[in-house]
C-alpha cells in the first residue's frame, strides 16, 4: 500500500508517542531503583545506630520528633544523623553530617529543632562511632 505524506506523518507521530511512553517508563523504573537504593528516606549510614526516644533520653532532647534512630558514621568523618520514626527523613545533626548531607540529600536537623541544646544528643551520637 502506498503511503502518502499524511500517512507517513501520522505514522511518525505514533512512533514518537510510543518512544515517549517507553522513555517515561524507563525513567520511572530508574526513579524507583534510586529511591530503593538510598534516597533521603532511607538511612544510608554505614556506621552504628541506635533507636532512641525522648522519654528515656538522658539529657536535652533537641528535636520535635519523640523517637527515632540516632546514627554515627566514622567513614564520613563522624557524621551524626537522626531519622525520626515518623516520616523516615534522615537529618544531618553535626557539621560532618551537614557537609555529607549536601550530596546525600540529608536536610539540616535545624528543620526539626525544638530549641533545646544539641550537646547531649551529639555526644550520644558520637559515642556510636566509638562502639
pLDDT in tens, 9-29: 555 555 545 444 443 444 443
Contact of 73 with 126, CB cutoff 8 Å? no
pLDDT over 90 (residue 47): no
Burial of 80 (0-12, 13-18, 19+ CB in 10 A): buried
pLDDT in tens, 78-117: 999 999 999 899 999 999 999 999 999 999 999 999 999 9
Q: Which pTM does this prediction carry?
A: 0.67
**Sequence ranges of the domains in the chain:** 1-37, 48-130
Burial readout 20-54 (b: 16 or more C-beta within 10 A, e: otherwise): eeeeeeeeeeeeeeeeeeebbeebbbebbbeebee
Q: Measuring CA to CA, which residue among 92, 94, 118 is closest to residue 106?
A: 92
Amino acid at each position: 500500500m502506498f503511503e502518502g505524506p499524511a500517512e507517513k506523518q501520522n505514522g511518525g507521530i505514533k512512533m514518537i508517542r510510543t518512544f515517549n511512553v517507553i522513555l517515561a517508563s524507563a525513567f520511572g523504573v530508574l526513579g524507583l531503583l534510586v529511591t530503593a537504593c538510598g534516597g533521603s528516606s532511607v538511612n544510608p549510614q554505614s556506621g552504628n545506630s541506635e533507636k532512641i526516644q525522648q522519654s528515656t533520653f538522658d539529657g536535652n532532647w533537641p528535636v520535635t520528633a519523640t523517637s527515632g534512630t540516632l546514627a554515627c558514621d566514622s567513614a564520613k568523618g563522624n557524621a551524626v544523623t537522626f531519622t525520626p520514626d515518623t516520616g523516615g527523613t534522615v537529618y544531618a545533626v553535626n557539621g560532618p553530617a551537614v557537609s555529607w548531607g549536601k550530596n546525600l540529600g540529608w536536610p539540616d536537623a535545624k528543620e526539626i529543632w525544638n530549641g533545646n541544646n544539641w550537646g547531649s544528643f551529639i555526644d550520644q551520637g558520637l559515642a556510636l562511632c566509638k562502639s
